[in-house]
Structure 1
Amino acid sequence: MRYQPPLTLTPAMVSLVAEIAEAVGRLSLVAEDTLRLRRINRIRTIQGSLAIEGNTLSEEQITAVLEGKPVLAPPREIQEARNALAAYEQMTHWQPEREADLLQAHKVLTQGLLEDAGRYRGGGVGVMQGEHVIHMAPPANRVPGLMHDLLAWLGACEAHPLIAGAVFHYEFEFIHPFADGNGRMGRLWQTLILSRWQPVLADLPVESMVHAHQQAYYRAIEQSTAKTDCAPFVHFMLERILEACRANTPQVTREVTPQVKRLLAVLDREMGRAALMQALALRDARHFRQRYLLPVLQAGLVEMTQPDHPRSPTQKYRLTAAGQRLAASHEDMT
């Protein structure tokens, strides 16, 4: 029988997935015009993930490491930052379900820090929170089989990537397959899974949000282990992903600009970009996106018909309930 991680899917999880999908759609549109933020978010991602494990380097120091500048810090922490920068840079070449890629990623992440870099552990290990052991991992001789089952599940999984990524993250931490670097690897691999669904998530600093809620992170692991159900951890991670999406999407004013009024007036049914631009007598796609489409999406006045696939060529847009009310109020005033 094929391995199936224990998960109770809840209405709250389904709701979070829907909210994240909508937020990612808006974020994808913004990201087209804010590519300069990718490097900043990558630094935040790495700083957050390393900080969870006790690394004290700041975002400024990690930036200096990236630029090859001297940094006054413990050599091990500098090496951890170099390795993490290299791992996230190479992430696009790895497939989430491939064991060889997983081992290679661990080798990159722990090179020069761990004798068994890129190899499963040969002894016992536990998850520590300070001096408190919150989880004793399975025996070392079970690790290869458990990882084989987990990766096979991931390769055949039909669950939404948001759910699958969080489940994998928890199960990976439960197995704790390496002598060190398991937390960093689990977060890296969840990011990899998410980026295969939506590339914009490759640089979303979810790890910074996890770091800000570090005690809740460990508590979610503990609760999931106690219940033999990874639902608490999945719910926690979905909340952090949504939080990261919202924090990295620029907020726009609810002021109704002339452009917004025009778009609401012509959007009387589901319409694609080309149809909207034609109705508005616009030719410049960039101007349309920045002045018309992006403001109404971010203000919640218009929504995508395919929020899970924001760049789909068949994407269309329609008024939300708020958009309909606002459009109707403008008609009443004319």
Structure 2
Amino acid sequence: MPDPAHPISLTDRLPEVTAAQLLAGLVPPPQFARASFDSYVPDPAHPSQAQARERMRDLAARIVEPPRKGLFRKAPPPPASLYLDGGYGVGKTHLLASLAHAVGPERSAYGTFVEYTHLVGAVGFRECVAALSDRALVAIDEFELDDPGDTVLMSRLLRELADAGVTLVATSNTLPEALGEGRFAAEDFLREIQALAARFEVMRIDGEDYRLRDGRPERTALSDEEVRLAVEQASASGAQASLDDWGGLMAHLARIHPSRYGQLVDGLDLVAVTGVHELDDDMVGLRLVVLVDRLYDRDVPVRLGGAAVADLFSPRMLTKGYRKKYFRALSRLGALAGRPLP
């Protein structure tokens, strides 16, 4: 039984992750462990959602049972690659996870853009290509275009995988203010991977963020005392709850490679932080984004004392180059902050 008087602290954890574990972890995250095309519920007000589901379902069937080679015909090429373009919370990750499940873990690899770049750093580029080339599908969630070096690296990786006959499916986000302006993110994506652009079919998925209808969580802040009480209640019920100070946690994240953030929060039923205040440092903000993504993957409830979720990033950060990541983090963290206590 957890001791309510001495909750777990993330700053006491220093996880180690091997290259083999990173490769084995290229599967849909726990929150989408049971995702399927049938469990994706399109919004009738946005027909593009149902169209995207059927296109992904068709792609899965073509990957699982490709057309057979005829007596006088060459083997058919792999199915065309897809790029899903849309705003936050329209179900792109759900569809991508459903595709990976339909193809199967032996023939597919699923990860975020950041996880693939971490994988290349851990095992080396050639080894990464060799490990992924035998998959029929490589799925890349949250393709990011704000780091030129990482974008060039991923473009090269995708080109080599495509040459090996791997079908690629990527998702990315359109900024809330860019919705309705056409394929805003898609144009950026295709320009950056121009050597592969002809292979990608772009599908736009319209709709509102199912997590947050206005794109950002409400400005309702908890007190530090309320957060501590939530930890005591969760621990008393047998849940594994962590409690950390905001400044200490941000400093701890700087000491751990982001590829280990998933293991940092594994096994937790609640993550609580006191003394939360607005950030205005992109290095700190980007580390927080990765932590939020790993918490969201695991569907771990979060409680923040001090600043409200909506006020975590400064106005400057929400108007500059990394704003897509910050808006995604706000959307996801807002959802986790609303999860019931374990």
TM-score (structure 1 length as normaliser): 0.28
Which protein is richer in helix relative to its size?
Answer: 1
Which protein is richer in strand relative to its size?
Answer: 2
CA radius of gyration, larger in:
1
TM-score (structure 2 length as normaliser): 0.28
